[in-house]
Chains A and B, each alone.
Chain A
Amino acid sequence: MGEPILKIRDLHYAYGNGTPALNRIDADIYEGEKIAVIGSNGAGKSTFFLNANGVLTPDRGEISYRGTIINKKNLKELRKNIGIVFQDADNQIIASTVMAEVGFGPMNLKLPKEEVLRRVEEALTYMNILDYKDRPPHYLSGGEKKRVSIADIIAMKSEIIIFDEPTAGLDPLNTQMLEEVLDKLGSEGKTMLISTHDVDFVYRWAERAIVFSQGKIIADGTPLKIFQSEEILKKANLKRPTLMEVYDLLVEKHLLEDTKAYPTSTQAFKEMLGNM
């Protein structure tokens, strides 16, 4: 697997009011990984992301990006290479036209204007919102704003993209659109971290899941492994994905042979049932 691109060691973070939000976090992120970050409300996912991107300064611990330890001087390098799509698009969108909004990151990277314009066009096309170019974001709907906030990060061409609860508030169609974008980004080899409460999505999409509970990482492994462990599920207040439940139910009723070969998609499940 080689060297991790992002290495986090012994990270601690407490908010101003003394709430310890992160406690001894260790994590290695490798290039091209699709990681789901799960855990109940207030478990520390968003805080973790803000630390990983350098917006919040950890109280203790170190972060290294591609072998370089991050300090105050090269903080920008970290922010440049790790983009966050925020949980609430309203907190992210700042400019008063979609074009200026998507160009905000690239402008901050001090790129030449032609390059910025090229990236903006590219990102808008990617998110299928080129028509909105001159519209003011504050008159867009929630789902449209979400697309803009994703285009924001795509235009920065960061190596790692973090999505903080991207599906919250999206209708099924937009959710599907989002998953298509995720697949497309994945096929381009982008490293992605996504926090979500949708266990079915985690099971379907992620190669690796990191489970947070009360500011600690309590599990880190394949979704299959994690969802098989009663202990982890209980500790993190997680539900099992529907597909696994159904599989176990069928095994229980002796309708399926128990091979522990859980299907990862509806398609795979269909084939499994068809083979019987």
Chain B
Amino acid sequence: MSTIALKGEHWDGHTHGDGINHRHHKIRHKHGEGSSIDFYAYASNIRDWNPAFKVSLSMLTLVLSIVLNNPYVSLAVIVAMGYLTIIEGGLSIQAYLSILMIPISFILLGTITIGIDFSTQPIGQYNLHLGFFYVFTSLAKLKIMFFLMLKVFAAISAMEMMSLSTPSSEIISVMQRVHVPKLFTELMNLIYRYIFILIDVNIKMRNSANSRLGFCDIKTSWYTFGKIASNLLIVSFKKANAYYDAMEARCYDGDLIFLEEDKKVTTLQIAKAAVFVSFLMLLWGFTR
């Protein structure tokens, strides 16, 4: 799940040392994209929509944009999901774009191989001489490549609509309701909570190692890195123990159940979603 996926850029803990309090909020967002998605999810204006509704809408849109395989549908999906996230959800455009751009390099790498080809002869509609070989392509191929990119972005924006407006715990509880095995969902819940603790511990250890010149040169850095990694493991075990004790102290007896707010779906929301889906279908029908 994208909300849990964390990138390895949490090491900016040392910027906290600036001690300027009002900048703290800004710094917070730099803790890797993963946790900032989480942060945005809590801040979203459409967070109080029923999570099952959001998850199903996002999944349905995702499936439709893949199955219908139509550039107009893809465009409509991108616009609609962007609307939900930015206008309804109140996320800033820059933040939305920067999150949408995270996978851009993968997408480019993946689609560019479809669009272009190599040859030793100057063939194809367009070609470019690059020393020993030619890169060639055609309008038709470029079109395929472009449509594929649109489709991928449509799929991503559908997923982001969900993850930028629904905190992980709510997504997990939706999964629970559709009978994803309990072991799996409970693990996800714990891991989710745990990640933040480990990140914190990791930042603290790194900072303290840093202050003792633990990263002064490459060799020392590797050594310190190893120490921190193994220490992190030990600390996790200890923390897991303490955690379990605390849960037991509050009468935990093997079933992880959380209090959830009832978030009602309005008929209007369902109607709008239905209109949107039929619109996609019609669009597909007319432009096939």
Contacts and interface: CB of A to CB of B under 8 A. Distances in A.
A104 B259 contact: yes
Interface stretch (B11-19, B71-79, B247-255): B247-255
B239 interface: yes
Given A104-B258, A139-B42, A94 B249 contact: no
Given A91-B239, A96-B192, A152-B250, A107 B258 contact: yes
A107 B248 CA distance: 13
Contacts of B257: 107-108
Contact of B252 (A88, A106, A108, A152): A108
B167 A92 contact: no
Nearest to A102: B259
Given A55-B245, A55-B248, A91-B242, A108 B259 contact: no
Contacts of B245: 50, 55-56, 91
Given A90-B197, A91-B239, A97-B167, A135 B249 contact: no
B5 to A, nearest CB: 16
A274 to B, nearest CB: 42
B40 to A, nearest CB: 12
Contacts of A139: 28, 39, 42
Contact of A95 (B42, B47, B169, B243): B169
Interface residues of A, number: 41
A86 interface: yes
Contacts of B189: 96
Contact of A94 (B47, B168, B247, B253): B247
Interface string B194-207: 00110010000000
Contacts of A105: 250-251
A193 interface: no
B260 interface: yes
Nearest to B252: A108
B39 A94 contact: no
Nearest to B261: A99
Interface stretch (A75-83, A222-230, A251-259): A75-83
Interface string B122-147: 00000000000000000000000000
Contacts of A55: 245, 248-249
A60 interface: no
Contact of B167 (A76, A80, A88, A136): A136
A96 B251 contact: no
A76 B253 contact: yes
Contacts of B193: 93-96, 138
B196 to A, nearest CB: 4
A90 B239 CA distance: 9
A108 B167 contact: no
Nearest to B168: A96
Contacts of B197: 90, 138
A138 B195 CA distance: 10
Given A92-B246, A108-B252, A136-B167, A100 B260 contact: yes
Interface of A: 50, 53, 55-56, 76, 79-80, 83-84, 86, 88, 90-97, 99-100, 102-109, 113, 116-117, 120, 134-136, 138-139, 152-153, 156
Q: Which 8 A-B pairs have the closest CB atoms?
A: A103-B259, A96-B169, A108-B251, A138-B196, A91-B242, A105-B250, A92-B246, A100-B258
